[in-house]
Amino acid sequence: MIKRFFNAAIVYASLALAGGVFYREFTKYGGFTGRTNLAFIHTHYFMLGMFFFLTLALLERVFAFSGQKGSKGWVTVYHVGLNITTACLLLRGLAQATETVLSPALSGSLSGVSGIGHILLGASILALLILVRRSAVQTQA
């Protein structure tokens, strides 16, 4: 699992860099000078992607938590939640940068889907922390 966590960190670091370049170039090309959610793709993928999976790799090395029932499932839920959230940032950011007016229904739908992504992230973070704690206590005993 350590190798998988490092591979995920590498993928998310690459996505973070690509997201940063896309934000900079897309807004520059379009002449947009305001604030847009595109800027948050870079930081979300760096912190919630790369940094999170580097941390999981270290925790796996110390506590070997991935052998517990449900750990792979919660990691998958985390991936899904992060990518849903980031996709919503991309869609809202594109609308902002192109100054596209979203209907109230579409804007609400986008916020709702983003909320689902955040819920998946939150639930999986808590579940993984509980799995790590359980392994840490077993290791200590």
> If you average pLDDT over every residue of the chain, what do you get?
93
**Domain ranges, residue 64:** 2-140
Residues 6+ apart with CB under 8 A from 105: none
Output the six-digit token pair for 26: 């897309």
How far is it, in rounded angstroms, from Cα 112 to Cα 110? 5
Q: What is the pTM of this model?
A: 0.91
What's the sign of the alpha-carbon dihedral 120, 62, 65, 130?
negative
What pLDDT sits at residue 30?
86
Residue 101 zone, left/alpha/beta (φ > 0; ψ -120 to 50; rest): beta
> What confidence tens digit (pLDDT) does each residue in 68-98 have?
888 999 999 999 999 999 999 999 999 999 9
What pLDDT sits at residue 141?
61
- Counted domains in the chain: 1
> What confidence tens digit (pLDDT) does each residue in 21-37 have?
999 999 998 888 888 99
Output the six-digit token pair for 64: 């070997």
What pLDDT sits at residue 83?
97
Is 2's pLDDT higher than 70? yes
